[in-house]
Homo-oligomer: A and B are copies of this chain.
Amino acid sequence: MSGFDKVVTSYEEALAGLEDDMTIIAGGFGLCGIPENLIKEIKRKGTKGLTIASNNAGVDGFGLGLLLEDKQIKKMIASYVGENALFEAQMMNGELEVELTPQGTLAEKMRAGGAGIPAFYTATGYGTPVGEGKEVREFDGRHYILEEALNGDFSIAKAWKADRHGNLMFRKTARNFNPMAITAGKISVVEVEEIVEVGQLDPDEIHLPGIYVNRLIQGTFEKTIEQRTVRTA
């Protein structure tokens, strides 16, 4: 009766089957709520030629920035990048292809991928470089462009708490892209801070049901802060 137990015990097992040239949908915003240990495992594995959809690309030496060091990423689909020098260098010399996608469109493309919506119209990007080559259509006198769903071979994400069936809860703004990213991957791998027994989470408080989760692993997290801003009392 272990069909629903999604827990794996090693990061190797968590990313088994990830191969060169695959597409990965990743959760996280900046360095907040990123699957930091799954990223480290991809670095260790040395998988190459990856296409990664993620709002950001990490920083030098942390998050997805790690995968730039050995040139593992072929293409980034992101809304905001270049917080790290290596990224900019690889983009400028053409080693790294970048598809800039508005943040809301990126989130919606992931959601659509998970929800069986192959494409949707949005006003975002109409009349801008983002709209170039895309179908334009008028609804109610306003212009919209057609955007297609995003799906991945894998998705990697981070949640706060899970039960063994993969029912997930996120914490504060570490939720961000994680729920949609998880739904959009053929094999979804989620690392969490805590795994509880089935029945311990209130069904009304689950942010994402376990049906979307294929593999679950408990990790420990550095949670690097990008912009440490404080006030004084």
Chain A residues at the B interface, C-beta cutoff of 8 Å = 108, 112, 115-123, 137, 139-140, 142, 144, 148, 169-172, 175, 203-205, 207
Nearest Cβ distance between residue A11 and chain B, in whole angstroms? 27
- For residue A140, which residue of chain B has the nearest CB? B118
Contact A205 B203 (CB under 8 A): no
Query: Contacts A172-B203, A204-B169, A204-B170; is A139 near B120 (CB within 8 Å)?
Result: no
Using Cβ atoms and an 8 Å threshold, which residues of chain B touch A117? 108, 120-122
Contact B116 A119 (CB under 8 A): no
Question: A205 CA to B170 CA in the complex, in Å?
Answer: 10
Question: A172 CA to B108 CA in the complex, in Å?
Answer: 26
Using Cβ atoms and an 8 Å threshold, which residues of chain B touch A123? 116
* Selected contact of A121 from candidates B108, B120, B170, B204, CB within 8 Å: B120
Using Cβ atoms and an 8 Å threshold, which residues of chain B touch A139? 118-119, 148
Contact B204 A171 (CB under 8 A): yes
Using Cβ atoms and an 8 Å threshold, which residues of chain B touch A115? 108
Question: A112 CA to B205 CA in the complex, in Å?
Answer: 24
5 pairs from A and B in contact (CB 8 Å cutoff): A108-B115, A118-B142, A120-B121, A204-B207, A205-B205
Question: A207 CA to B206 CA in the complex, in Å?
Answer: 10
Using Cβ atoms and an 8 Å threshold, which residues of chain B touch A121? 117-120
Question: A139 CA to B120 CA in the complex, in Å?
Answer: 12
* Selected contact of A120 from candidates B119, B171, B172, B204, CB within 8 Å: B119
Nearest Cβ distance between residue A208 and chain B, in whole angstroms? 13
